[in-house]
Structure 1
Amino acid sequence: MLSEEFVSAICGAPLTSNTAIAKDIGIYCHTLSPTYSAKSTFKKSSAPVNSLAVSETHVFAAQHEKAYVHVYSRLRGNQEAFVAFPERIRCITLAGDVLILGTTEGRVMLWETCTGRLVSTPPRHVQAVSCVAATPFHVLTGSDDSDIHVWALAQLLELDSTAEHEPERSLPNHRAAITALSVSSSVSYDTNFCVSASKDKSCIIWNYQTGDALRTLLFPSFPLCISLDPSSRALCTGCEDGSLYLTELFADKHLLGAQSEDAATVMQISSPFGATQPDAGPASCLSLSYDGTVLLTGHPKGQILKWDVADNKTPVELANLNAAVTNIVFISPFPNEKKVTRPANIVKPSQAERTYTFSTQLMESDLAGPESRFDALLNSAGFPQEVLEDAIAALQQPTAASVGAGSNEKEQELQKKNDELWEIINEQRALQKRTLQKYVEAKSGQA
């Protein structure tokens, strides 16, 4: 059975003097299936909402109201680095080996963890960057100033130090602070979209490459956290009043696509998927599993609840971490087959250096890959024995067998005509042979 794992982070002091929970633990690694268990922990971290990022080798956690990021090694199970930045960090995310950070001064910073290169943009947001999302080609930043900026990732990472760092476009429809961003996994120009949540009690679905608002969703209270399912067909929303909403984007009444209504139509979302108990508080973070069947929510009172999306049953409490749960991140169960390197150790960022050290591990299995039939033939001396045997067997295979092994009626008809022609030819040969024999006998009798 496929194992599912996720990482959670807490923020703040312990709620009670619970001796069953070890002190100073700020990050937990969990196994969800086949059986839930707490796999490992990392100490000395207090990460606010939207401040946790997980790669194949490391865990990055921005610290509450500080200009620090703690880096933990998943391979060695310890804290690897303590990284200081020029400004306080409000939110982070990963785009490959690049850690993207939003600051309280409205800047975006990009740290190449393999080289230590640090790129910083001017403060394009008037207020703090509250959330950030990334795709292989774009970076999206939401701010307390109610604006969303879309940046080209390649442009931000170009080596020209004199280049101007400007967003490609802005998405300005919200009227209050942005609380969360979620982006679809598609990279198609026509089908990729993102969803933004705001304190104006709305979520807006955008085509972020064109800047078009595709749909506006209104909720009874403002959304705190959102998550798109893995296939981007449904949106999960956790609101300030403790309600959870599951909005299907392509149900009987399409919200997106050619069959949807006019984009100017505002949809009122009023039927909750579920509601948390008052003793747990509203969900401060949520995340969907990679098959889209399980929803996990983290709460200010320390609970991590598991919701069954299909059956919509009463949630199950997986754990109580005795502190406000602020981040839940699922770890992909699928290896990145295209990636041929991975960072063994991160390189601390520096803006002063102009030469950088690249530190990584070459993954031999990914470099070699499975040997194709063409590679085997190319690297062999002459024709391999196996190939010769297959060719001889194909030539010796009876024609009738190939015809009767699933040929269509036309082929069978042609084969029948071919057999009849051979029959006529054989009769003519036999007649010719008999005629020649009589001629030879007649000639010998005359002699």
Structure 2
Amino acid sequence: MEELVLYGTLAAAGASGPRNPQKMKSGQQNHNNSSIVVCDLHSGTPYQTFKNVSLPRGSTLQAVHATSDRVFSVQHNSSVLLVYHWGRDSAVQTIVLPEKLAVVKVSPSGNWLIGGAQTGRIYIWEVMSGNLVAVREKHYQEVTVIEFGRDDDSFVFTGSKDSTVLGWRLYDLVNSGECQPVYSWNKVHSLEITGVRLGYGLRNVYTSSLDNTLRCWDLERNELVSTYILPEKIKAIAMDPSERAVYAGLINGDIIIVNRYKLNPTTGMVEGPKGNNEKVTLTYQDNSDILLTRPDSDTKASVTCLDISFDGTVLAAGYSDGQAYTWDITTKQVLRKLAPQKEAVSSIQIVSRSRKVIPGGIKLTGNNSNMLAKKKNDTSAEIFKLPIFKRILDEKEIENHNVWVKLADAPKQEVDDLAQVKVKMAKFLHEPRFIASAKVSKSNVAALTGRVKELEAQLQRAKDLKQAKEMM
């Protein structure tokens, strides 16, 4: 496995999307200065660049979402979704959408893709069938964030410019009929929602807003546990996998570490949040130990996006001036300055994936949306195109429920030492010289049979003798 950091930049000022997206072919998008750059998380070595991207200009943090085999990207001024494959610089598919999306997110299982529109609508597609299974209208302004739990698909949370955060049970979302969110927090934050993070086990949810507050919610009791008031507007948040801390990127370029557990100097005990909407105000005074500041701190660039590695040791941050950095959380020092971009970094994500990369030079052929595309004369390199995403709700299509799945070939497992010994032994036993040596004559068989009978008689005499002694 390897860890990659993927970050996308905004579309250049004045850039426009395709006038007629229906006529666009895969790999033939408009050219502009926007791109999606991939680097090795630990070395900073450039890995790949996805070209012909035009990400939305605005406050959205999730215009790009990467999985282990694909990268999805919504576009600026066009209602299309570009689908990239690792190892390919150009998009392998261009999917036309019902309207322009601002946010896109794939569920942890990879079965569902959820898009948030600028109108506030939420679209849910089943990835392998392409069916549009639901459209929900509960937000009044643009959707800014969509977040699943780290380990399952059961719940999804959405945030919006209308300052509301809604928590949905995915089962309710994808089933027809009227659907109400399980959680609705619409009178707590006063400005646009900039971040939502869920912990393992879906116990706590963290939300941030431009109103300078970071809030922690207890899902089991559906109540507000803590409110952290920060000195500047919060543009993005990331959460430690163990929920020891939340990292808040501010509009002035600083990153504040909000520690959830603190040492009580009086008792010497580590204490967690007190609950009951405990309010904690964080300031710059005497808090240098919770602050991550860029080396060029005189540059007035806002933090735009954050993400953290799976082990919680490396933090990746993107900025409004096109810079991207990785930080060592333990030492609070910059690890790498990633390749700078011309426009603001709008989305950043740390991805763990296999080192096996699909070879380049793969050409897509055929008009069938479910056609397997492969390199000429090479059956080992295959790409499975996703079905065309439906733009309207179609009950018949949902009932038919045709799901296209590419089954992988049986893995070629390495033979261990014991297996190798068994194979060699089997080959030896079937060799002619061994079979010849194992053959015996009839006389030998008779001799062996007589010897066996003699031994059986001796054994019977011994049993009789033992029985006689016991009776005496």
TM-score between both structures, scaled by the size of structure 1 = 0.71
Q: What do you get for the CA RMSD once the two structures are aligned?
A: 3.2
Aligned partner of 1:124 in structure 2 is 138
Q: Is the alpha carbon distance of 1:73 and 1:316 closer, same or farther for their aligned partners in structure 2, counting shifts above 3 Å?
A: closer
Unaligned 5+ segments in structure 2 are 15-30, 356-381, 415-465
Q: Which of the residues 81, 86, 89 maps onto 1:69?
A: 81
Partner of 2:310: 290
Give how far 1:85 is off.
Answer: 2.0
Q: Does 1:221 align with 2:232?
A: yes
2:155 is equivalent to residue 138 of structure 1: yes
The yes-or-no answer on 1:41 pairing with 2:45 is no
User: What secondary structure sits across from 2:338 in the alignment?
Assistant: strand
- Residue deviations 1:141-161 (CA, integer Å, cap 9, x gap): 111111111111112123xx4
TM-score (norm 2): 0.68
Counterparts of residues 219-368 of structure 1 (less than 5 Å): 219-252=230-263, 259-270=272-283, 271=287, 272-276=290-294, 277-279=297-299, 281-314=301-334, 316-333=336-353, 344-350=384-390, 351=392, 353=394, 354-355=396-397, 356-364=401-409
1:90-139 C-alpha deviation (Å, 9 max, x unpaired): 21211023111111111111122211011333321121111111122011
Question: Which of the pair has more CA radius of gyration?
Answer: 1
Partner amino acid, structure 1, of 2:48: S
What are the equivalent positions in structure 2 for 1:175-190 lying under 5 Å apart? Answer: 175-184=190-199, 186-187=200-201
Superposed displacement of residue 75, structure 1: 5.3
CA distance in 2, matches of 1:309, 1:54: 24
Q: Which residue of 2 aligns with 1:167?
A: 181
Show CA shifts across 1:41-83 (max 9, x none). 1111122422111112110111234422211122555312222
Contact 2:168/2:183 (CA < 8 Å) preserved in 1? yes
* In 2: Cα distance, 1:53 partner to 1:198 partner: 21
Cα contact 1:121–1:165 (8 A) shared by 2: no
CA distance in 1, matches of 2:218, 2:170: 17
Q: How many residues align?
A: 351
Residues in 1 aligned to 2:413 and 2:189: alpha-carbon distance in whole angstroms: 48
Q: Of 55, 60, 64, which aligns to 2:67?
A: 55
The alpha-carbon distance between structure 1 residues 127 and 151, as it changes in their structure 2 partners (threshold 3 A), is same
Deviations 1:254-296 (A, max 9, x none): 9xx9953242220112235122324361210111112211111
Question: 1:262/1:6 Cα in 2 relative to 1: closer, same or farther (>3 Å)?
Answer: closer
Letter in 1 for 2:45: S
Match of 1:32 in 2: 41
* Alignment check: 8 A CA contact 1:102 1:108 kept: yes
For residues 243 and 80 of structure 2, the distance between their equivalents in structure 1, rounded to whole angstroms, comes to 33
Separation in 2, partners of 1:293, 1:153: 31
Contact 2:44 2:337 in 1 (8 A): no
3-state SS, counterpart of residue 307 of structure 2: strand
Quickly say closer, same or farther: Cα 1:76–1:358, change in 2 above 3 A: farther
* Residue identity in the other structure for 1:344: F
Q: Which runs of 5+ in 1 are unaligned?
A: 16-21, 336-341, 371-428, 437-447
Instruction: Return the offset for 1:23.
Output: 6.7
**The residue matched to 2:232 in structure 1 has which SS?**
coil
SS at match of 1:362: coil
Match of 1:154, SS state, is helix
